[in-house]
Chain A
Amino acid sequence: MQIQDFFRYTFNGIRAQRLRSFLTALGIAVGIGAVVLLTSLGEGLHHFVLGEFTQFGTNLIAINPGKITTHGVSGALLSNVRPLTIEDSASLKQLPHILDVVSVVQGNGAIEAGTHQRRATIYGVDASAARVWKFGVAAGRFLPDDPPRSARSFVVLGSKVRKELFGNNQALGERIRIGGELFRVIGSMESKGQMLGFDLDDAVYIPAAKAMALFNRESLMEIDLLHSAGSSSSAVAEKVKKALQARHGKEDFTITTQEKMLEILGGVLNTLTIAVGALGGISLLVGGVGILTIMSITVNERTGEIGLLRAMGVERNQILVLFLGEAVILAAIGGLAGLVIGVGGSWLFSLIVPALPAHISWAYVASAELLAAFVGLLAGVLPARRAAGLHPVEALRAE
């Protein structure tokens, strides 16, 4: 049998029952549409979250006090851990490949400007923070590069804090109170938006040493390192670990490279994508059952035809292939329609929710179509085997 005749014959069988074939294909279409749409949303979320995390740059290494054990309990909760100090931070800056170091202390506090007051996040950082975290300054400048221990009382406002406290008035040069102490505003930041619920604009930035005094802390909460783009983050992390171990005598800190974090995060998000894809897979399964049902009915109805084909010298295997082919083509047509539904749906979704753009991965689309054909194949096996197993005499008697 010529291949084009094979397709003509099976297509003919599908076309002969238009409504029924349409409904059956629709089942698969909905399934594939759901798989494509949901995986697109999953991928979109993936890109969105990774984008959020890489907006601070990608060559980052974070050091936190305390050794995180496999249970993830930070030693910082215990008192016998030697804290990270501003001196640690300064010493790390001398290491090769390290471009910048940021000492970080974070807390909440009341910020007063004249009669206005607002509680906001207070970041105690170094002058390098704007460079390392890729924050843009909207007006004035970021904190100056003062000696860490004797930094002057300057503050840089996040865009939201600036707007809440000063409205349209000039903020530069004004004095504000943070936790009762006076600071002079020397700059304000560009809006950076939210990251996973943290409003980065609802914050102020002051020198780390000042923040330590403010929160009555002896030590830093985190040290962020920016390493050169060409260097391997794990190699740099290893050097940092050695240097800090030499200073502390033991490993009482945890180093997290951005690379590692993104890797873990990517893994989690991929699992999520697969999970929502599997949800769509359930409707695909239902569509497959639809094909199974319709093909069983088709084999019943065409029993006489099967007998005829056998009488004309068609072998069992060819009968099997003919009916399998019909199931696969039916599913593939449904799959194509499903791709249109899924791709169109994700396009519509990105129009409605532009913040979370659905990302269509063509590898997913291609595998979804293959999946549809595979579902058809699987659903077709039982009816096609029944068709092939019919005794020609019995089959001929059916009509």
Chain B
Amino acid sequence: MKNEAIISIRDFTMKFGNHTVIENLNFEVLRGETFGLLGSNGSGKTTTLRALLGMYIPTSGSLLINGKKYSVEKGGKLGYLPEERGLYKKEAVLNTMVYFGELKGMNRLDAQKWSIDYLKRVGLSNKTNQKIDQLSGGQQQKVQLGVTIINNPELLILDEPTKGLDPMNRRLLMEIIEEHQKSGATVIFVTHQMEEVERLCDRIILLKDGKAAVYGTIKEIKKQFDNKSLDDIFISIYGNNEDIKYA
């Protein structure tokens, strides 16, 4: 099933008033791969994900998951960790996780069991009945990740998942993502950390001013840029006004 596109974005343009955020963007994400969606702040990464998930209506073009426009009812097993993320502050940790589990189609008991196991794994087993706002920022982020992966998604979309995490928790989170990779899930990964990209991603797209600046496998892209590191490639692209390069 590899090489079959799970996500297909064609001629996608997004305007807010007179401001064009994305212009004629085209790329595909293949089933089972880990795909890096990269770019500087304001380059259109989050807008692309929101439009893909039906939260924004594109000005033109098509954004398809499994060949269809995304709908909650027929969206399949999807996990989305947005950039702007939060949880019900006054709700208990376990109740929050179970609620999201039920929304994702799990039965209450399964959601409860999974949540307890997960909280144990991430060192929050003593926080099950605590309210979200009693947790530290990093602890809240672990709960948010739990909510995202509770239904063992086939498609995992993570918008800057490691933002604000300490090195230990970052490592834990990377391990969890790698487990999903190994189980065959497709992962879309937005990050500014190039070492994370090198560690996890099969292919990447780098957006600049709403357009694709580079697109392809890491190996191909590096070859194209004289085997520079991804950090250097990133800096060189944002330092120059080079044309789009498709590897």
Q: Do A and B come from one complex?
A: no
Measured CB to CB, the residues of B under 8 A from A are none
Measured CB to CB, the residues of A under 8 A from B are none
